[in-house]
Every structure is written in structure tokens, then in C-alpha cells.
Amino acid sequence: MPMAAARATRRRTPRMRETVAAVFAPTSLGLLLVAASQAGVFALLLGDSERALRSDFARRFPRMRLRAGDDAVRKAMAGVVRFVDRGGVLPLVPLDLRGTPFQLKVWDALRRIPHGRVTTYGALAAKVGDPDAVRAVAGACARNPVAVLVPCHRVIASTGRLHGYRWGLDRKHLLLAREGVMLL
């Protein structure tokens, strides 16, 4: 994905309560929850039910409350749903990434992996300047709250096989197949 295709702000999760816009939508990968602040999308979660997604959101963002999304969030959701269901190019969606400095560095590197390409956890660790931080990189991928738009599905094991995906290996395989990636 070209870097111009998404803009990211960098800040940590706020200490005060925040109410954010959210939209749920069915996709071929399951139900999708997109949550956005005024700055952009900061959560894109995949799940099997609205209840499970609300629970996952509450666990990840305990100081935030969801409210019904507005037209801007629905428009972002429509582009993401099209990408998830049909592949193609990731939509232009402003991002409001929230994480530690190391996580933000890893997520930025993930966004630089071209559409239809994969990398390994080791190569990604080297890309962020710490080749010995393979496990920390895998942890940052696992904590990525913006599925698909921060494409952690493009990271595979050094063996060339699928490994680890917060939302399940079947979903990872399907996303990669839609990008034209064929694995062992």
C-alpha cells in the first residue's frame, strides 16, 4: 500500500473517557467493527458476532464508549468491506493509531509492505532496526487494533508458512489469497 493511501496520527490511548463512532458490517471474513475518533480509524476488529466484537473492543479500549457512526465512518467502512470481500487496493482512510512507540514503529513498517507481498517476522524486526526483536515484533502484530488497514496479515513465518494472526489463520489465508499471494 502506498504510504499516501493512509495517514496516521500517533498518540497513546487517552486517560479520560472518550466516546467514539462505530459501525458494524458483515463481510466474507465475519463481522467487522470500525471505530473512529475525530482524527481517524483507530480500531478495525474482525469477529463472529457483535457481542464478541464489543467485548474485544472493551478489553482493548476500556476507557472508550461506542456510539453509532456517522456518514464519514460508514464511508470508511464501505471501502474496507469492498477490500475485504473483493481484494484490490486498500482504501484511503485516515488512521489514528494508538500504541507504544515500538508498536507504532512496527505498524508503520507493516503499512509499507506492498500489496500482494509478504515478509517474515525476522525481516520486519530488522526493518524496524532491531533484528533480535522477533518476538516483540510478533507481539506488536498481535496487538494491532486495525486489522487489514495495518496489514499484519502480510507477515509469515521464516519457513514460508502462515503463522499467527489475531483473527485466525483462515482469515489470514483468505486475505493473502485475495492479494494474489500463494503460500506453501
Q: Tell me, what's the pLDDT at 87? A: 74
Q: Model confidence over 52-111: pLDDT tens digits?
A: 999 999 999 999 989 888 887 888 788 888 888 887 777 788 899 989 999 999 999 999
Q: Tell me, what's the pLDDT at 4? A: 34
Residues with catalytic roles: 152
Tell me the DSSP string of the chain: --GGG--EEE-PPPSS-EEEEEEEEEETTEEEEEEE-SS-EEEEEEESSHHHHHHHHHHH-TTEEEEE--HHHHHHHHHHHHHHHH-SSPP---EEE-S-HHHHHHHHHHHTSPTT--EEHHHHHHHTT-TT-HHHHHHHHHT-SBTTTS-GGGEE-TTSS----TT-HHHHHHHHHHTT----
Domains and CATH numbers, the chain: 3-96 (3.30.160.70), 100-178 (1.10.10.10)
Q: Tell me, what's the pLDDT at 16? A: 67
With 70 as the cut, is the pLDDT of residue 14 above it? no
Q: Tell me, what's the pLDDT at 85? A: 84
Q: Model confidence over 107-158: pLDDT tens digits?
A: 999 999 998 999 999 999 999 999 999 999 999 999 999 998 999 999 999 9
With 70 as the cut, is the pLDDT of residue 20 above it? yes
